[in-house]
Amino acid sequence: MSQLQPEDIAAETRQMLEVWREDPAATYRSWFLWEERLKNFRSIRRGLAAVVEEIEAGRFGNAYRGSSLETVVSSIAEQRQIFRGADHAFLWKPKLRIPDIYESPDNQRAFGRFLHSCACCQTEEPVLAAIQQLDEQRIKGLGPAAANLLYFLHPTLIPPFNTAIVRGYNMLTGAQAKLGSWKEYLAMRRGILEFNQRYRQLLSNDLGAIGGLLFDIGSGRYMAPAIGREEDQIAQWRSDVALVREQSARISSSLRVAAEGDLTHTEVQGWLRDLGQALGYLVWIAANDRSRPYGGGRLSDGCVDTLPPKIAAAGSAESIRLIDVLWIDPDQERIAAAFEVEHTTSIYSGIVRMLDLALSFDEPTSGNYFLVAPDDRQEQVRVQLGRPAFSRVSDLKLHYLPYGALREHRTALARFGTGLKGMLSLAAPLR
């Protein structure tokens, strides 16, 4: 796409957009301004949350028909002509074994994490990272058609996707975008955002508008104006693809670093899970970590699904649910010990969650709060605890539990230990 367009080309483009906006049969008026459209956003978002919940709970099943995903995608496919056929990419095709999110539990969980990550973030960077992470899973048959799900989560960041939209984009820009590749989709997205910004007054911050325009062009309803020399258009497309590849490489590198930290974090949570269960405690795993793969299953396998009623009713319950590991006394239904695993990150958020737990009750558990971290982080943690923001931490009687001690002694404690005596002997008091 040429950066400097002659005035006559810009005028022709604006004229086409003006005519398109007033056409009652074009997607701008028939769908984008449709009064039911935004209502559908809310129901589709709730439906995607149900898909994630079912995948995390292992209830999603192995068939598209009758699944929560079918309900959501059917709602999208009913969004008038622009999304007609949106369900095709998700229909189970037995002979091709695609899309492979029904018969492969690992792929299913990766798909659930993808939806969950995108639903929880608000900015471009984490959305693109989630797409990159999904792409690296190489899930057969699950390509950029999934962008239609993301559009209803982030309409200002992710444009809709289908064959007609890709064809319309190529006709409008002279690009050479192909179906089926996330990198091609992301390069197309760059060009869409650029065009949308240039003609924002005639389009919208919501990328559904330009998605509708591209659909109408790709469907043959509107003729795309020539917007520059062919060689310039192709060069711009190649530049967009190259930039996306560079961005993908950076994101991939960051994901590998993060994955290494996550692996260690999850492994330590698994040690604490197994040890707590061996000592006779009920174990709670942080709500946002429950579906993480561990030991051939999920990290939350064998753990409780709900907190004791008194804790669940506390005003800070949402924060408490995010504590990495909780050991719960099965007889008294109280928290016997709380663990925050701090691999490389700041201890701030973990300390705040444990303070929320301690200050939620008149008689808080005393002396059973543990920061679990690499052996060489103890002094760094002490320095952070010296900050004025942590003045209330002394009430917790925090203990520092190094990875090395836990790794070395957890098997013996599980076999011969009782209660928290062994854990306290391994940990060093802080403050």
Phi/psi at 282 (nearest 5 deg)? -80, 145
Phi, psi of 428 (to 5 degrees): -110, 130
> How far apart are alpha carbons 169 and 114 in whole angstroms?
26
Separation CA 4–CA 194 (nearest Å): 12
**Cα–Cα distance for residue pair 390/346, rounded to 1 Å:** 13
Query: Is 17 exposed, middle or buried, given 0-12, 13-18 or 19+ CB atoms closer than 10 A?
Result: buried
- C-alpha 152: how far from chain center: 14
Q: Rounding to the nearest 10 degrees, give the CA dihedral for residues 351, 353, 356, 362.
A: -80
- Cα separation, 188 vs 240, in Å, equals 8
Provide the Cα torsion 367, 370, 376, 378; round to 10°. Answer: -40
| Structure-token pair, residue 265 | 């974090």
DSSP 145: G
**CA 159, CA 230: separation in Å to the nearest integer?**
25
CB 370 within 8 A of CB 398: yes
**DSSP 8-state symbol, 226:** P
Tens digit of each residue's pLDDT, the chain (431 residues): 444 445 666 788 888 899 999 998 899 998 999 888 888 898 899 999 999 888 877 888 888 888 899 999 998 988 877 888 888 889 989 888 899 999 888 899 889 889 988 988 888 988 998 898 899 889 999 999 999 999 999 999 999 999 999 999 998 888 888 988 999 999 999 999 999 998 999 999 999 999 999 999 999 888 887 665 555 655 665 666 677 667 666 666 665 554 445 557 888 999 999 999 999 999 999 988 888 888 878 899 999 998 888 888 887 888 888 889 999 998 887 889 999 888 655 666 677 777 778 777 655 444 588 988 887 777 777 776 766 656 666 667 788 888 888 888 989 998 888 888 888 888 888 76
Q: Find residue 298's DSSP bridge partners.
A: 293
Q: Which of 346, 389, 347 is nearest to 369 (CA)?
A: 347
CA nearest neighbour of 324 among 293, 358, 290: 290
- Tell me if 294 sits within 8 A of 110, measured CB to CB: no
Residue with tokens 């074009």: 26
In the three-class reduction of DSSP (H, G, I as helix; E, B as strand; rest coil), residue 116 is classed as helix
Tokens 């051939």 appear where? 296
